Amino acid sequence: MRAVIQRVLQASVEVDGNSIASINNGLAVLAGFSPSDTSKDLEYICQKIIGIRIFDNASSFMNLSLSDVHGGLLLIPQFTLYGDARKGRRPSFSSAMKPETASEYFDSFVAMCKAAYPHVATGKFKAHMKVMLVNDGPVTILLDSSKLF
């Protein structure tokens, strides 16, 4: 599983002209799945997201977690995190999990995050979404459950 975590002042998702999710101060997370992922991968990324200390404390030092600041968590499915553009001009998505299975994994990931943290909003799987956010810092962290980066 891969995730792109962005510390945000605000973030929202729109589908078909309708706002379906929004948060203020917190984390916007793009989440993608590979065919080799298991529930352990979901757990690893969920715990990293909830516990990662990328919010400033009183000394302006990144030492606080999402739980510490009581921020929002916006989870957005994004299969393109497994896009491979090393050859040619059109990315290959063969390393991404198939949509039917990925949908179930995203739902499981959302449920896992909601069980661990109370302030969770989500994008919509397999929808054309407009994601708007104000990145704070900017702070952007890449996570991979295979620990490739």
Phi, psi of 131 (to 5 degrees): -105, 125
Taking alpha carbons only, the member of 72, 77, 91, 96 closest to residue 15 is 77
The verdict on whether 79 is a catalytic residue reads yes
For 75-125, the DSSP string reads: EEE-GGGG-B-SSSSS-B-TTSPPHHHHHHHHHHHHHHHHHH-S-EEE--T
Q: Residues 79, 106, 109, 125: which is the catalytic one?
A: 79
Q: Residues 78, 106, 109, 122: which is the catalytic one?
A: 78
Kindly state the tokens that stand for 52.
């990662």
The shares of helix, strand and coil residues in the chain, as percent rounded to the nearest 5, are 25, 40, 35
CA 48 from centroid of its chain's CA atoms: 11
The verdict on whether 149 is a catalytic residue reads no
The verdict on whether 93 is a catalytic residue reads no
Question: Can you tell me the distance from the alpha carbon of 4 to that of 104, in angstroms, rounded to the nearest whole number?
Answer: 20
Q: Residues 47, 80, 101, 140: which is the catalytic one?
A: 80
Q: Annotated active-site positions, please? A: 78-80
